[in-house]
């Protein structure tokens, strides 16, 4: 009873956040020893008292900090920057009080009022047009009890959004005031709501100058390149919705802001024509209800642009058309940023559901934009009802796909799901959820793959459709029997068992036993290489490691390597073994939809358009910018501007140092007039440029300002300090300092390619607009037209001007120049930009051609996997049939369509001839190594990461999870970080022997095998080297990027001849190779280094100090190159002592976490087979995807 009565006053004081009350209550508990009357509850009471005392200490510290700051600003600083720093400290103290649950208003009422006064004084100085709304925002924020993620930068952004003179901005300020005064509006929502009001007023500003006739004139400018069907849709639109049939007819003097005026316009929208059929139909209802929703929220009128209406009509005619053999199945519109694309998508989704009776999957591959769009249009979706077919209706259902963490954090919020809901009418999702939906069908009991005909796919950006490298996705499934066997193998590996002991532990009765041992041995070594914080993190909930996907733990990701790592670190006692049983062709799954509707800022190059046309039967059209359809309105695009000493718009410098000097010259000169945004080649260069530009600013006498003058917006900063990143973005287009000295100067902001896409750089200063607008300085032009268009879209937003000046380094494009035999132009025009993009177009075309065979093989495997899963599911439980299916899924990339059919025909009960196919047989995507007499195993490609993930892994949601995270900044390494491959070959006299069982000598056989590996398994960005040894050691090919040395590496290796001298300096050659592989700066951190050696005899001739391989052992012990992997091939009978030396090296590399193997062959006929084993050991396609 006493325990129930005594603690509550303390708890109440803590809950109320009342410092004085807590102090008063704690005075009643001065003794450290509690009376016996609390009995068994004594411990509970002690815990409450301890917590209260700790809380008191924390609160006193917060209050003391607040008092100190307020004392410092009793006399407000004259300097605005200094005053802002005090305000930032005050804001942090307010946030700290909230985090510790201290109610400052209750504990010290006068302090809150004083904080408001200080913040208001700062905003009056910092803003150009201090007004009532500013003061309301300050007071709302200071008095908010839970600011959450809202910080001082957010406050400043909101204040700048309303920084307008009251005369001339009455409408905006009145709407902004209503939003701020609304008690239901949380500070975190202010920025988005105020931005909405600004955008709505911008479009209303030009509504009366919009002309439908001019709109069709702009549409017709593309007539020569339009598909005939699309041209017909546009003509039909002009006939049915031509001038005189406008949704709303506005007169020059008509008002659009007053309540009665808005009501009249809404009535026009709603009223259907009496004398003619209404071509708008359902769209009229959508426009009306959307206008009503926005009016209720903002007291403003929202009207669709003529361009939006025409675009929607074209899509409508396309959706209603009956498909013929050559009719388009996909229609893609190019719609610029800020042209109302999200509204078009929402309207199309409602039309698909209500008018066509189908369901819509909307793909937005940006989590922030996805949530924003769904939240914006959910009130509109909730208004509509769906016909049920019997005269009745039901509510339209809309769902947003989110992560499991987000769903758990927002329990109870309607409309959220972790995957596509098959019953929902509209699903907003990412591309991975579309894949997951297909995976759920493949895993389900019904396995009905035909339901897509009742669904329409709508894409915001068409990047997901253009699959020019890895078009297939493999799904993995658990195998209980193999999991038990894998656990036995893991126990053997932990105990250091020999390969014979490992094989004996699982026996050979199961058809997958040999494969399981091979994969477990490989992934066991790979698991040791995984790095915490990069490849995986520990999950407390699961009690084991989870892979990292896009920086977040994903417990549904699976890889055998991570399973092994969990076992190695005693976080699990069993291995979950999963295997590939199903291959999905992503283009084929997209084609299953009834129709595909795409809206994209840029459709891409001609090669990409041709791919979309051939793969999806796509047609295209462009939606003209809204301002081009308005009489007398200013429409601007980013224009090149001549800057620097040579007054050029494009500079091409020979070296990085020259590029940096030119960049500093251009940027630091231009920032005297306008804000400058530098878009670096990648995040590493962005970080480097920030330091160097600050140094350059110091050398120009700007040392005290350099840190503020040059600011970073790189992804590195975003990941380490997101608050600072947000502040830098806010400051990027603001004047430097407080402008008290008169003329304005501006900042130089450095971002990476991530900041060149989708980030809004707001420019409000009219003086900047008069001087050309925000200046972009890209230091690398992306090879993708879509990316370049995105870069230019960072400036010249809405009706503002924009400009760019490009500063390139020719060395960044050396591989492309060598590849296409064309130097990068260094003229004063835009020829360099055009060349880079044209190279990119050619590369895109090559990638598309290069993936065509793999695409077709994937389509055929997908078709036949569906056949097995839907019609012969019992085969999945038969070990032999299942193993054959696994084998097909693992070696898909080495099989032609015909070979796929033959392989499936070997599965009992499956007849590929009865399964129709869309696939064309273009041969094998990749040719397996020659000389194989047995059925190929899962063929492998060289690993591309230090942690061992394979180039060929198509992982989207799950894969070998050790693959380093890639971002859009990786312009020069699109296939992942480069790997390093060093071949060390014996060319002594004995290698001339003609005993390989072929017409080739031992050495010629090695040459042929190496050449094939270079052709099929080494990318242009990978480094390749070759050392040969006999009586001496010679580096015939120093480590060189394949793309740069492609013209000489292959001829050099082909021209080698075995030596006529005796001697085999094998140990010295290995030492030299390891030294070269360990050179600093050779390749990016994490890049794998592979050493592949072949010798056909004992060492004879190495230096005395290395005669027994001692120096190699020492180097591997104290100076082993990072991420070293080693494969040693020995041919013939070597001395036992030499074999032990080689085995010792292998053990050293394995112990360090690398992959290492010694392939000992009795005679030369096995050389080809050994190189095949090299390929199989280097990587294996064993990963795959599960549902996201």
> pLDDT band for position 627 (50/70/90)?
very high
Sign of the C-alpha dihedral computed for residues 843, 844, 845 and 848 taken in this order: positive
pLDDT classification of 912: cutoffs 50, 70, 90? very high
* Percent of the chain whose pLDDT exceeds 70: 90
Question: What whole-number distance in Å separates Cα of residue 149 and Cα of residue 151?
Answer: 6
Most confident of 160-169, 322-331, 1065-1074: 1065-1074
Encoded tokens for 829? 């025009």
How confident is the model over 997-1048, as pLDDT tens digits? Answer: 888 899 999 998 898 888 767 777 788 999 999 999 999 999 988 877 657 8
Q: What is residue 413's predicted lDDT score, i.e. its pLDDT?
A: 80
User: If you average pLDDT over residues 652-673, what whole number do you get?
Assistant: 95
User: Higher model confidence: residue 549 or residue 238?
Assistant: 238
Task: State both tokens at 323.
Answer: 């498909």
Q: How far apart are CA 274 and CA 257, in angstroms?
A: 28
Stretch 219-245: mean pLDDT, rounded? 93
- Distance, in Å, from the CA atom of 662 to the CA atom of 653, rounded to the nearest integer, reads 8
Q: How confident is the model at residue 29 (pLDDT cuts 50, 70, 90)?
A: confident
What is the Cα–Cα distance from 710 to 619, expressed in whole angstroms?
45
Q: Is the pLDDT of residue 1086 over 70?
A: no
Give 276 or 478, the one with higher predicted confidence. Answer: 478
How is residue 604 written in tokens? 């891409």
Q: List beta partners, residue 1094.
A: 985, 1129
Joined tokens for residue 171: 């409408």
Which residue has 């439980």 as its token pair? 877
* Mean pLDDT confidence for 156-167: 91
Average the pLDDT over 395-410 and give the result. 87
* Three-class secondary structure assignment of 358-396: CEEEEEECCHHHHHHHHHHHHHHHCCCEEECCCCCEEEC
pLDDT tens digits for range 961-988: 222 333 333 333 333 457 899 999 999 9
Q: What is the 3-state secondary structure (H, E, C) of 420-443?
A: CCCCCCEEEECHHHHHHHHHHHHH
Q: How confident is the model at residue 943 (pLDDT cuts 50, 70, 90)?
A: very low
Q: What is the pLDDT of residues 708-767, one digit of tens each?
A: 999 999 988 988 888 899 999 999 999 987 554 456 899 999 999 989 987 889 898 889
pLDDT value of position 955: 27
Measured at the alpha carbon of residue 761, what is the angle toward residues 833 and 730, in degrees to the nearest 5? 140
Closest CA to 551 of 965, 968, 1087: 965
Residue (of 136, 229, 230) closest to 187 by Cα position? 136
User: Across-strand partners of 553?
Assistant: 548
Task: Give the count of alpha carbons within 13 A of 743, CB side only.
Answer: 5
Measured in degrees and rounded to the nearest 5, phi and psi for residue 546 equal -125, 145
Least-confidence region, from 92-96, 375-379, 976-980, 1035-1039 = 976-980
Q: Return the pLDDT at 952.
A: 28
User: What is the DSSP pairing of strand 1033-1041 with strand 330-334?
Assistant: unpaired
Q: In the predicted model, what is the mean pLDDT of residues 36-44?
A: 66
Which of 1050, 1025, 1023 has its CA nearest to residue 1035?
A: 1025
pLDDT of res. 341: 93
**DSSP assignment string, 53-92:** HHHHHHHHHHHHHHHHHHHHTSS--S-HHHHHHHHHHHHH
Rounded CA gap, 1132 and 87, in Å? 79
Could you read off the pLDDT of 335-363 as tens digits, one per residue? 988 889 999 999 999 999 999 999 999 99
pLDDT at 926: 74
Average pLDDT across the chain, whole number: 86
Does the structure show a pLDDT above 80 at 578? yes
Task: Give the H/E segment covering residue 874.
Answer: none
Of residues 796 and 936, more confidence is placed in 796
Task: Give the integer Cα–Cα distance in Å for 1079 and 328.
Answer: 55
Q: How far apart (Å, rounded) are the C-alpha atoms in residues 1042 and 817? A: 14
Strand-strand pairing, 359-364 and 426-429 = parallel
623-648 burial, b at 16+ Cβ within 10 Å, e below that, comes to bbbbbebbeeeeebebebbebbeeeb
Is residue 813 over pLDDT 90?
Answer: yes
Res. 930: pLDDT tops 50: no
Parallel, antiparallel or unpaired: strands 618-622 and 774-778: unpaired
400 Cβ contact partners less than 8 Å away, ≥ 6 residues apart: 370, 371, 374, 415, 416, 417, 427, 428, 429
Average of per-residue pLDDT across 409-433? 88
pLDDT of residue 39: 59
Residue 438: pLDDT over 90: no
Place 927 in a pLDDT band, splitting at 50, 70 and 90: low
Q: What are the tokens at 855? A: 């695409």
Average pLDDT over residues 138-145: 92
Residues 368-377 as b or e (16 or more Cβ within 10 Å = b): eebbebbebb
Task: Tell me which of 949 and 1011 has the higher pLDDT.
Answer: 1011
Q: DSSP 3-state assignment of 600?
A: strand
Q: Encode 264-285 in three state secondary structure.
A: HHHHHHHCCCCCCCCCCCHHHH
Integer Cα distance of 1043 and 1021 in angstroms: 6
- At 703, list the tokens: 């040392």
**What is the distance between the alpha carbons of residues 182 and 186, in angstroms, rounded to a whole number?**
9
First-residue to last-residue Cα distance in the chain: 52
Going by pLDDT thresholds of 50, 70 and 90, the confidence category of residue 205 is confident
Residue carrying the six token digits 């790189």: 714
């Amino acid at each position: 009873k006493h325990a129930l009565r005594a603690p509550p006053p303390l708890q109440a004081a803590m809950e109320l956040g009342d410092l004085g009350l807590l102090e008063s209550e704690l005075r009643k508990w001065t003794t450290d020893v509690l009376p016996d009357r609390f009995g068994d509850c004594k411990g509970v009471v002690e815990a409450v008292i301890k917590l209260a005392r700790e809380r008191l200490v924390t609160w006193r510290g917060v209050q003391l900090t607040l008092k100190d700051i307020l004392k410092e600003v009793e006399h407000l600083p004259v300097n605005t920057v200094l005053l802002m720093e005090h305000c930032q400290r005050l804001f942090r103290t307010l946030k700290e009080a909230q985090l510790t649950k201290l109610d400052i208003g209750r504990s010290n009422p006068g302090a809150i009022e004083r904080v408001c006064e200080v913040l208001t004084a700062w905003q009056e100085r910092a803003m150009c047009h201090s007004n009532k709304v500013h003061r309301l925002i300050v007071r709302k924020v200071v008095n908010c009890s839970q600011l959450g993620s809202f910080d001082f930068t957010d406050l400043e952004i909101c204040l700048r959004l309303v920084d307008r003179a009251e005369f001339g901005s009455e409408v905006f300020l009145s709407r902004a005031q209503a939003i701020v005064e609304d008690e239901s509006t949380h500070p975190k929502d202010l920025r988005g709501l105020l931005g909405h009001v600004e955008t709505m007023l911008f479009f209303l500003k030009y509504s009366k100058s919009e002309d439908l006739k001019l709109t069709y004139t702009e549409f017709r400018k593309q007539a020569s390149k339009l598909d005939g069907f699309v041209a017909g849709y546009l003509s039909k639109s002009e006939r049915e919705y031509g001038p005189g049939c406008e949704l709303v007819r506005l007169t020059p003097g008509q008002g659009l802001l007053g309540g009665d005026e808005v009501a009249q316009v809404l009535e026009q929208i709603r009223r259907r024509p009496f004398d003619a059929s209404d071509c708008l139909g359902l769209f009229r209802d959508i426009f009306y209800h959307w206008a009503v929703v926005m009016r209720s929220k903002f007291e403003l009128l929202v009207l669709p642009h003529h361009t939006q209406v025409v675009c929607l009509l074209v899509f409508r005619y396309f959706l209603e058309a009956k498909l013929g053999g050559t009719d388009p199945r996909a229609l893609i519109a190019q719609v610029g940023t800020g042209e109302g694309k999200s509204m078009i998508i929402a309207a199309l989704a409602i039309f698909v559901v209500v008018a066509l009776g189908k369901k819509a999957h909307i793909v937005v591959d940006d989590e922030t934009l996805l949530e924003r769009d769904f939240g914006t249009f959910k009130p509109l979706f909730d208004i509509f009802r769906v016909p049920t077919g019997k005269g009745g209706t039901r509510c339209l259902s809309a769902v947003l796909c989110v992560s499991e963490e987000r769903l758990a954090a927002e329990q109870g919020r309607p409309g959220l799901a972790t995957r596509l809901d098959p019953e929902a009418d509209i699903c907003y999702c990412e591309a991975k959820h579309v894949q997951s939906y297909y995976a759920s069908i493949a895993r389900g009991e019904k396995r009905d793959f035909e339901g897509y005909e009742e669904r329409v796919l709508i894409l915001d950006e068409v990047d997901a459709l253009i699959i020019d490298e890895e078009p297939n996705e493999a799904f993995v499934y658990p195998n209980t029997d193999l999991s038990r066997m894998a656990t036995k193998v893991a126990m053997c590996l932990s105990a250091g068992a020999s390969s014979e002991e490992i094989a004996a532990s699982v026996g050979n009765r199961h058809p997958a036993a040999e494969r399981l041992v091979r994969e477990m041995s490989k992934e066991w070594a790979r698991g040791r290489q995984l790095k915490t914080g990069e490849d995986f993190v520990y999950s407390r909930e699961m009690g084991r490691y989870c892979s990292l996907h896009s920086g977040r733990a994903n417990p549904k990701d699976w890889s055998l390597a991570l399973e092994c790592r969990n076992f190695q670190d005693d976080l699990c006692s069993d291995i979950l073994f999963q295997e590939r049983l199903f291959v999905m062709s992503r283009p084929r799954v997209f084609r299953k939809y009834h129709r595909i509707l795409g809206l994209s800022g840029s459709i891409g190059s001609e090669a990409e358009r041709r791919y979309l046309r051939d793969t999806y039967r796509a047609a295209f059209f462009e939606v003209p910018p809204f301002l081009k359809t308005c009489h007398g309105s200013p429409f601007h695009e980013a224009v090149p501007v001549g800057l620097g000493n040579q007054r050029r718009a494009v500079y091409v410098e020979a070296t990085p140092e020259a590029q940096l000097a030119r960049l500093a010259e251009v940027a630091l000169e231009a920032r005297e007039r306008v804000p400058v945004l530098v878009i670096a080649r990648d995040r590493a260069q962005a970080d480097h440029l920030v330091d160097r530009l600050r140094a350059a600013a110091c050398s120009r006498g700007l040392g005290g300002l350099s840190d503020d003058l040059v600011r970073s917006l790189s992804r590195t900063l975003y990941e380490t300090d997101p608050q600072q990143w947000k502040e830098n973005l806010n400051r990027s287009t603001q004047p430097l300092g407080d402008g008290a000295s008169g003329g304005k100067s501006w900042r130089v902001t450095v971002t990476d390619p991530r900041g060149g896409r989708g980030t809004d750089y707001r420019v409000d200063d009219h003086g900047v607009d008069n001087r050309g607008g925000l200046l972009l300085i890209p230091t690398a032009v992306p090879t993708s037209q879509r990316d370049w268009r995105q870069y230019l879209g960072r400036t010249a937003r809405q009706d503002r001007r924009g400009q760019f000046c490009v500063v390139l380094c020719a060395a960044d494009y050396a591989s492309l120049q060598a590849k296409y035999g064309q130097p990068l132009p260094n003229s004063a025009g835009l020829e360099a930009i055009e060349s880079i993009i044209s190279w990119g177009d050619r590369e895109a075309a090559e990638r598309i051609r290069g993936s065509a065979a793999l695409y077709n093989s994937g389509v055929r495997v997908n078709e036949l996997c569906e056949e097995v899963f839907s019609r012969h599911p019992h085969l999945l439980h038969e070990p032999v049939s299942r193993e054959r299916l696994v084998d097909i899924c693992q070696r898909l990339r080495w099989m032609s369509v015909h070979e796929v059919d033959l392989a499936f025909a070997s599965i009992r009960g499956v007849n590929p001839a009865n399964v129709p196919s869309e696939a064309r047989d273009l041969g094998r995507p990749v040719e397996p190594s020659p000389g194989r007499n047995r059925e190929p195993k899962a063929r492998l490609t060289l690993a591309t990461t230090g942690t061992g993930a394979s180039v060929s892994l198509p992982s989207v949601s799950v894969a070998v999870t050790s693959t380093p995270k890639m971002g859009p900044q990786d312009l020069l390494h699109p296939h992942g970080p480069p790997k390093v491959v060093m071949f060390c070959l014996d060319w002594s006299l004995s290698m001339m022997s003609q005993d390989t069982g072929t017409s080739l000598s031992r050495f010629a056989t090695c040459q042929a095998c190496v050449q094939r590996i270079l052709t099929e398994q080494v990318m242009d960005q990978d480094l390749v080297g070759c050392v040969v040894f006999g009586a001496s050691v010679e580096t015939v090919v120093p480590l060189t990027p394949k793309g740069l040395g492609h013209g000489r590496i292959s001829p050099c290796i082909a021209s080698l001849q075995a030596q006529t001298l005796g001697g085999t300096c094998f140990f010295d050659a290995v030492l030299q190779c390891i030294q070269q592989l360990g050179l600093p700066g050779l390749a990016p951190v994490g890049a794998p280094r592979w050493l592949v050696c072949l010798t056909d005899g004992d060492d004879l001739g190495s230096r005395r100090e290395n005669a027994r391989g001692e120096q190699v052992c020492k180097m591997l012990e104290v100076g082993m190159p990072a991420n070293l992997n080693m494969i040693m091939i020995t041919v013939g009978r070597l001395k036992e002592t030499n074999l032990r030396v080689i085995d010792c090296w292998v053990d050293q590399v394995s112990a360090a976490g690398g992959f290492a193997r010694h392939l000992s062959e009795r005679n030369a006929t096995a050389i080809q087979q050994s190189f095949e084993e090299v390929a199989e050991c280097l990587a294996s396609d064993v990963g795959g995807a599960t549902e996201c």
